Structure 1
């Protein structure tokens, strides 16, 4: 059993023993209990918040609870020292041989680990870029984030459905079709009216494809909007495949928000007295002196805590985006998902509250969890200059161009290298460099270097390390502070994956990988300064075996993590 599971069980047992009259599994939730590795080793190998979290529930003080827990923990042979610090914090120091055993347990658990989660059915919607042009690097952030969160959730045991919501209705599709028809009929005429035409070379190429399709059908003008949407979506899907992103379902807004579905929702809202016909103030985005208020169907969101009531239907009777979003998300709820997760750009932040309020009002007795992760901007930097991009003006850098220049691995790692709400500076010079400042290279190089050490060991001692039975390896030689620190960090692997899944934050994994790589490279470098600290020592096979076992564990953690992230691990660089 790994240390965090082992300690949690011991801590819960001590609470049950010392507070039997008040202890109940209903009030003592093990998931609230944290076991952490302090940044400063003087605060122990691990620390726990058990006294702070459960003292009130058990009718005692943090200090009293900590004292009773410590008395029980002192009976554990593997514990060398235990301290109470401040108002109930407990710091624990383990004997070195405990960590040696933990390293072996870790490798066994790598084959199959039980995260002991309550399995959930999760719908994760991400990308959902408008089918009006090629994807840009900003779309890539949401794409990789959504795909990676899905992979992490699946890794811990959840069922995940990946969905892409195709915005194939509304004004932007009308403008798209206007653009295609314009190119079909006036191919060489310059575009001056940006309000009704999308600029850029890409849609000219789409027009050529459409021209061939229309000629086959003996048509001269595009009338079916779905024809051009299908062509653009085909290119978007190809671009997503290039960065190893896939979806289970592509949901059409046009199909899911048809007249029948709109009528059903409209009647439901009226029945629950959640809508009315009224007037909205002039939107801030409209700059038209002739604009007049018109009666339209509104959702009573102000009564529920929103700033204003939101439009469900336009004055002409057409559905708003809000109406379509409610229908789509109600469809998810009706499919009995336990959790809905959306990955949206930060520019959609204003829609979050109104959508959540609408779903809560429509489903007062339905249990589900709805999370929306907002992704911040991605700045493309080349030669210390930011590249300005505008999709509407047609001067943006496409995702496929970036993939050609830096590759999928770099894009996937960098897009999840920071928390979703933090901006990312995608520096071309940095991500193509071979230095520790390039986190992708640094981690991949750590794996390649570990594989190189295995080859050196095999050649030095005329054996095949991968075929050796490692269960009886003597790890007592691993006594350096650097070795102990690495072992502790490695043994935290499953905690990192679990917390990444719990909070939908895959940057925890990339940060962890970088720390492992940094410590590994530093450990490797010790032998350059002091030959007694070399990993492979010709004259000492036993010590070499112990140290290579540690290196092997590092390689397995890196490989497993990178597999979850869908990033390659080359064995040589």
Structure 2
């Protein structure tokens, strides 16, 4: 019917709605499944928090956004793999091992003071001081007794205990992280270890392939913008020609001590994903990694065959946690943060997931711990839950 100038109302027959309702009931959760993806293989890597402590609220946004994106892609007919990259190599994991070893010595009843131990730690400080490592120390005692603290295992020379403590601590941290993600309703198909990538030689092979393509050379970079001449040491470096793929500067692959840069190790990781046959790679990162996007896309483009795979990066802006109108400061190293598990226990999994999706991923947001549980018009979660309760009431009345 015509409804005023410029408007036409169209009314569907009741049978249309009845047919749709029948289809929904018959299909169940499969209702709405699409075929747009045509089985294209998509690898979605998200969360990938460093295994140096339990999940905190700051990790939550990327976890929810990545999980929902992967679910939507699967619903649309893509063959989706959900992946978590375990950063279990490098200085931060060694720092974690030292912190866990201190908790181990405490569990044994050591007479050494914390300051005396900290003086032996590389850098002169215990970097991860949170109480969440106390159970780790107790578990190490349960497994090994005092053998890791034998007289010939001086903490100043950790060759006897470091590898064992590092591996077992990472395993315990990852078990904790998996439990936290499970509470959030997030489940990954694949967990890939950075240490395994390095041990398998994937990074070296990837760099060798780039070298075969003439994309690796020894050169000297210009000083970064804003650096004074006396702040800059010009020296030859192993460089990747990322400028041939849209980057603004070529990127170093080796540090001054000859070890790999983080970028080199990430090239090896993405080469591993390519080798596993993904057609599209999706990385969900925090916004603080925004400057890293172009170089990583350049590396994937250089390793790709016939333009596949394509790398897409989704950046999630930081979430500011507010309680009682004041921002909550968070530090995993100090052990002062709101854990993801505490948040879920307080407000519920669905409320957490819903709230994280109320703003675009690239927009900053405040997560107000008081508002999300408030039964008021300022809390959109409350209205959705209220509507659900009303629906359930109608169904109960119909059944009666």
Q: What TM-score range do you get, normalising by the shorter chain?
A: 0.7 to 0.9
Q: CA deviation at 1:157?
A: 2.5
Q: Report the Cα distance in structure 2 between the residues aligned to 1:266 and 1:285, rounded to whole angstroms.
A: 30
Alignment partner for residue 214 of structure 1, among 117, 138, 144? 144
Asked if 1:223 is matched to 2:162, the reply is yes
- Note the residue ranges of structure 2 that are not aligned, 5 or more in a row: 154-160
Alignment partner for residue 234 of structure 1, among 164, 175, 187? 175
Q: Report the Cα distance in structure 1 between the residues aligned to 2:390 and 2:86, rounded to whole angstroms.
A: 44
In the TM superposition, what whole-angstrom CA distance separates every residue of 1:52-77 from its partner, at most 9, and x where no partner exists? xxxxxxxxxxxxxxxxxxxxxxxxxx
In the TM superposition, what whole-angstrom CA distance separates every residue of 1:295-335 from its partner, at most 9, and x where no partner exists? 33111123433222211122222222111111111222222
Alignment partner for residue 437 of structure 1, among 378, 389, 394? 378
Partner residue, 2:14: 100
Partner residue, 2:300: 359
Partner residue, 1:53: none
Q: CA deviation at 1:458?
A: 4.8
Alignment partner for residue 385 of structure 1, among 326, 336, 361? 326
Partner residue, 2:34: 115
Q: How many residues align?
A: 372
Partner residue, 1:152: 72
Tell me, yes or no, if the aligned pair for 1:166 and 1:251 is still in contact at 8 Å: yes
Alignment partner for residue 114 of structure 2, among 153, 173, 189? 189
Tell me, yes or no, if the aligned pair for 2:104 and 2:136 is still in contact at 8 Å: no
1:542-553 correspondence to structure 2 within 5 Å: none
Alignment partner for residue 173 of structure 1, among 89, 93, 111? 93
The alpha-carbon distance between structure 1 residues 279 and 418, as it changes in their structure 2 partners (threshold 3 A), is: same
In the TM superposition, what whole-angstrom CA distance separates every residue of 1:2-22 from its partner, at most 9, and x where no partner exists? xxxxxxxxxxxxxxxxxxxxx
The alpha-carbon distance between structure 1 residues 137 and 114, as it changes in their structure 2 partners (threshold 3 A), is: closer
Partner residue, 2:158: none
Q: Report the Cα distance in structure 2 between the residues aligned to 1:405 and 1:271, rounded to whole angstroms.
A: 55
Q: Report the Cα distance in structure 2 between the residues aligned to 1:105 and 1:216, rounded to whole angstroms.
A: 70
Q: Report the Cα distance in structure 1 between the residues aligned to 2:130 and 2:209, rounded to whole angstroms.
A: 43
Report the aligned-residue RMSD: 3.0
- Tell me the TM-score normalised to structure 2 length: 0.83
Q: Report the Cα distance in structure 2 between the residues aligned to 1:284 and 1:401, rounded to whole angstroms.
A: 43
The alpha-carbon distance between structure 1 residues 154 and 143, as it changes in their structure 2 partners (threshold 3 A), is: same
Asked if 1:261 is matched to 2:261, the reply is no
SS of residue paired to 1:244: coil
Q: CA deviation at 1:360?
A: 0.8
1:534-549 correspondence to structure 2 within 5 Å: none
- In our comparison, the structure showing a higher alpha carbon Rg is 1
The alpha-carbon distance between structure 1 residues 92 and 156, as it changes in their structure 2 partners (threshold 3 A), is: farther
The alpha-carbon distance between structure 1 residues 283 and 135, as it changes in their structure 2 partners (threshold 3 A), is: farther
Q: Report the Cα distance in structure 1 between the residues aligned to 2:2 and 2:309, rounded to whole angstroms.
A: 44
SS of residue paired to 2:44: strand
Tell me, yes or no, if the aligned pair for 1:295 and 1:315 is still in contact at 8 Å: no
Q: Report the Cα distance in structure 2 between the residues aligned to 1:457 and 1:197, rounded to whole angstroms.
A: 60
Q: CA deviation at 1:404?
A: 2.2
Q: Report the Cα distance in structure 2 between the residues aligned to 1:113 and 1:279, rounded to whole angstroms.
A: 55
Asked if 1:421 is matched to 2:362, the reply is yes
Q: Report the Cα distance in structure 2 between the residues aligned to 1:160 and 1:257, rounded to whole angstroms.
A: 25
Q: CA deviation at 1:338?
A: 2.0
The alpha-carbon distance between structure 1 residues 263 and 429, as it changes in their structure 2 partners (threshold 3 A), is: closer
Q: Report the Cα distance in structure 2 between the residues aligned to 1:419 and 1:132, rounded to whole angstroms.
A: 28
Q: CA deviation at 1:218?
A: 5.4
Tell me, yes or no, if the aligned pair for 2:316 and 2:361 is still in contact at 8 Å: yes
The alpha-carbon distance between structure 1 residues 363 and 159, as it changes in their structure 2 partners (threshold 3 A), is: closer
SS of residue paired to 2:297: helix
Q: Report the Cα distance in structure 2 between the residues aligned to 1:198 and 1:216, rounded to whole angstroms.
A: 22
- Note the residue ranges of structure 1 that are not aligned, 5 or more in a row: 1-79, 86-90, 460-573
1:303-318 correspondence to structure 2 within 5 Å: 303-318=244-259
Q: Report the Cα distance in structure 2 between the residues aligned to 1:355 and 1:197, rounded to whole angstroms.
A: 29
